[in-house]
């Protein structure tokens, strides 16, 4: 029963809120992870790149778990993001002792693989993670206040280079944002 109770720690991701809107509230990191899984499934079905599907899904399932302890820091909060990696490493070290032992090694390995961004699967998962907010925020034009196309490209474009279908989607979304005055608020 002790290990089952430890699973509840991972459920804590439902309580971590992001800057993105969902109706009259903010999106949780758990909701973001779920939409990343849906987005990954879509792109895995239309891409010709050979990837380990299960690995991609696991990377996305676990990629933000450290936010249970470290919180989410929005992309546009540059000052807050300066020490983000240190905060996340501290959170990783704390969390690995608080989750079921059957998941400990897997959790640590997946978070490190995602952050190191060296494997094809990690790069794909990173690209999905970076694209998810743009798709989500198409429904919340007011959340784009203060954003520019230049900032969006500077922060995200590099993640899509190896994945033509994802890059194409990013370009279409960016054009849509420009044409519909999302950046002009």
Distance of CA 170 to the CA centre of its chain: 15
Residue 50 lies in a domain: yes
185 domain residue, yes or no:
no
Number of structural domains, the chain? Answer: 1
How confident is the model over 115-131, as pLDDT tens digits?
Answer: 999 999 999 999 999 99
Is 74 within 8 Å of 21 (Cβ atoms)?
no
d(CA 122, CA 60): 9
Query: In the structure, what pLDDT confidence band is assigned to residue 20 with cuts at 50, 70 and 90?
Result: confident
Over the stretch 67-116, which tens digit does the pLDDT of each residue have? 999 878 776 767 766 788 888 889 899 999 999 999 999 999 999 999 99
Q: What is the per-residue pLDDT for 80?
A: 66
Tell me, yes or no, whether 184 lies in a domain: no
pLDDT above 90 coverage of the chain, percent: 77
> The whole model's pTM is what?
0.92
User: Residue 81 domain-assigned?
Assistant: yes
Assigned domain for 101 exists: yes
Q: Is residue 159 part of a domain?
A: yes
The confidence score (pLDDT) of residue 112 equals 95
For position 53, which CATH number holds? 1.10.3210.10
| Structural domain includes residue 66 | yes
**Distance between CA atoms of 144 and 75, rounded to whole angstroms?**
12
Domain that residue 172 falls in: 2-179
Query: What pLDDT, on the 0 to 100 scale, is given for residue 86?
Result: 85
Mean pLDDT score of the chain: 92
């Amino acid at each position: 029963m002790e290990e089952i109770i430890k699973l509840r720690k991972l459920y804590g991701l439902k309580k971590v809120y992001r800057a993105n809107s969902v109706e009259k509230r903010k999106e949780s990191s758990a909701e973001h992870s779920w939409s990343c899984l849906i987005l990954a499934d879509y792109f895995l079905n239309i891409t010709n790149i050979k990837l380990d599907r299960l690995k991609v899904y696991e990377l996305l399932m676990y990629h933000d778990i450290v936010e249970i302890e470290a919180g989410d820091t929005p992309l546009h909060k540059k000052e807050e993001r300066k020490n983000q990696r240190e905060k996340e490493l501290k959170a990783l070290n704390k969390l690995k002792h608080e989750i079921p032992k059957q998941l400990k090694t897997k959790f640590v390995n997946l978070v490190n693989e995602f952050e190191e961004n060296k494997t094809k699967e990690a790069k794909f998962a990173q690209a999905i993670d970076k694209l998810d907010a743009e798709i989500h925020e198409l429904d919340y034009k007011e959340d784009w206040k203060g954003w520019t196309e230049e900032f969006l490209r500077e922060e995200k474009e590099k993640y899509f280079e190896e994945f033509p279908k994802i890059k194409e989607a990013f370009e279409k979304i960016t054009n849509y944002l420009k044409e519909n005055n999302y950046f002009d608020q």
